[in-house]
Structures are given as structure tokens and as C-alpha cells.
């Protein structure tokens, strides 16, 4: 998601105007233009958020556009729905916009936006580009190989995934590494396409409507010293976990022989 010179990517910050708040803009690159969505959350928690989908006319660094009909964000559930579905829950007299006219420009890694809605509310913001391609800011737990094994043995079984890396890269999906950012488009277009593809080829019933609503901490880091590498690789080999087993073929076989004979 980082490393792009265009509008595509994720932009996060705050906006000022009629009612200040927080804003996240997710933009995907298409062949003739950019398409994305801006999520705005008013500082007043009594008001619903806004989701404004949009398309730029081309790929120029400066643009003017009118958004698609603006949808409301139900704060308790996070659902994006037409405002009419929330009207009964909102304080009387609250006016929700139908669309916004937007002016924007890109300069280096800063996206500047200003807008006016059909009800006269306004907003402006200058948003930095996502730092997804920068080093992780997650503070790791320092551990050697022995204390690491003791720690993971105390965790609930089959509930965690472990990924090793030798640099403090941020955890990024192939989706984001491909330059994609608009998760709403991913859920709306890509997931149903995968569902249709798998359903036609397997007997398993995939429920794509199930939701995880429980708030949990999903990401952590443990920093192992490089001096433990030899012990780690030896213990993995006892369980048959080697480069040759993981990557069958010439590359995996050569990597395993290098590890076995030279212990680099």
C-alpha cells in the first residue's frame, strides 16, 4: 500500500470544517482512473459516520468530482447503510448529506481535500500517505529460543499463527502489497467472486455472511536473538521441517544442503 506515487493507497488523518472528525480514504487504481471510498467519523459520537464512494475523472494529480450517494455508518455495528435505516436512532433535526462536491490534489505524499455537501456543510484535510512500507512500530517481546517455547506452550492450542522474519517489516497482506486499499470493494466484489469459484468446485458450504464482533488483540511480536538460530533450525529438522520439505524442488534441496553442511 505504501511506495506508490499516485493516489492509490490508504490516507488517514483528521478533518476540520462544519463538524471536525477523523477520516480514512482508501483508493484503488483502475485502468482509466482511481476509485475509492472516504470514511468520516464526526467527533460527536451521537452522529453517524459517513461513507462517500467516488471516482476520479482521470489519473491527474488535481481533480474535481461529485461523490456517489453518501451512505451512513452505524457506529455500534460499523455497518455502511443508507441513512434512512438509521433515521429512527438519530437525534431529531439531524440533517444528513446526499452527496459532496470534492476538490483534491496530490503533492508528494500528502493528499489535500476540500468539500461542500448538498446541505452546505464543508470540510478540509491534508492527509499523509500510509506508512505500510515502513518498519513496524510494534514493540516486540524480547525472548531467547527457550523462553519463546515456554511462552507459546502456555497459549491456547490451534488459536495462533506464527510468522518468522529477519527484519521489522509490518504485517501486510498480498492484497495491500498489490497496491489495493479499498476493503469495501474487496468485500463487495472479490469475496463473492471467490465464493462462487469455490462453491462450484467443492462440497463445503462457505458462510460469507458470518461476522466476528468480539474485540480482541490480534497482533503481537517476539524478538529472538540471531545467536539462537542454530538451535532453532536443529529442532525444526528433528520434526521434519526443513527447506527441502517446505519447498520441494531444486531451490529447497540446495537450501537444505547448505544449512546442513555449512550451518550459515
Rounded Cα–Cα distance for residues 23 and 50 (Å):
9
Residues 6+ apart with CB under 8 A from 140: 168, 221, 222, 223
Per-residue confidence (pLDDT) for residue 76, from 0 to 100: 87
188-245 confidence digits (pLDDT tens)? 888 888 888 888 888 777 777 765 555 667 778 888 888 888 888 888 887 788 888 8
Integer-rounded Cα radius of gyration of the chain: 24
Task: Encode the chain (264 residues) as per-residue pLDDT tens digits.
Answer: 445 678 999 999 999 999 999 999 999 998 899 999 999 999 998 899 999 999 999 999 999 999 999 999 998 888 899 999 887 888 777 899 999 999 999 998 899 999 999 999 999 999 999 888 788 888 888 999 999 889 888 888 778 888 788 888 888 788 887 878 888 888 888 888 888 888 888 877 777 776 555 566 777 888 888 888 888 888 888 778 888 888 888 988 898 888 888 765
The strand pairing partners of 102, in sequence order, are 65, 115
Return the domain boundaries, the chain.
Answer: 9-128
Decide: helix, strand or coil at residue 51: strand
Phi, psi of 145, rounded to the nearest 5 degrees:
-60, -35
Residues 6+ apart with CB under 8 A from 106: 6, 7, 61, 62, 112
Name the residue with cell 493516489: 7
Q: Tally Cβ neighbours within 10 Å of residue 56.
A: 20
Amino acid at each position: 500500500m505504501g511506495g506508490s506515487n499516485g493516489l492509490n493507497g490508504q490516507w488517514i488523518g483528521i478533518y476540520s470544517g462544519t463538524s471536525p472528525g477523523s477520516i480514512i480514504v482508501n483508493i484503488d487504481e483502475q485502468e482509466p482512473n482511481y476509485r475509492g471510498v472516504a470514511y468520516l467519523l464526526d467527533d460527536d459520537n451521537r452522529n453517524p459516520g459517513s461513507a462517500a464512494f467516488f471516482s476520479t475523472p482521470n489519473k491527474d494529480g488535481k481533480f474535481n468530482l461529485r461523490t456517489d450517494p453518501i451512505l451512513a455508518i452505524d457506529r455500534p455495528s460499523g455497518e455502511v447503510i443508507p441513512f434512512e435505516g438509521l433515521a429512527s436512532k438519530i437525534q431529531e433535526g439531524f440533517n444528513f448529506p446526499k452527496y459532496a462536491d470534492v476538490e483534491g490534489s496530490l503533492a508528494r505524499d500528502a493528499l489535500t481535500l476540500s468539500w461542500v455537501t448538498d446541505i452546505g456543510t464543508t470540510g478540509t484535510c491534508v492527509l499523509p500517505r500510509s506508512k505500510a512500507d515502513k518498519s513496524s512500530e510494534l514493540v516486540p517481546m524480547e525472548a531467547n529460543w527457550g523462553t519463546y517455547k515456554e511462552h507459546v506452550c502456555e497459549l491456547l492450542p490451534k488459536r495462533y499463527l506464527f510468522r518468522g522474519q529477519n527484519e521489522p517489516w509490518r504485517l501486510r497482506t498480498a492484497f495491500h502489497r498489490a497496491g489495493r486499499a479499498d476493503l469495501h470493494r474487496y468485500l463487495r466484489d472479490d469475496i463473492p467472486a471467490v465464493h462462487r469459484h469455490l462453491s462450484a468446485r467443492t462440497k463445503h458450504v462457505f458462510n460469507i455472511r458470518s461476522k466476528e464482533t468480539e474485540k480482541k488483540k490480534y497482533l503481537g511480536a517476539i524478538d529472538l536473538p540471531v545467536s539462537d538460530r542454530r538451535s532453532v533450525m536443529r529442532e525444526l529438522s528433528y520434526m521434519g521441517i526443513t527447506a527441502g520439505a517446505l519447498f520441494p524442488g531444486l531451490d529447497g534441496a540446495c537450501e537444505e544442503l547448505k544449512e546442513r553442511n555449512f550451518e550459515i
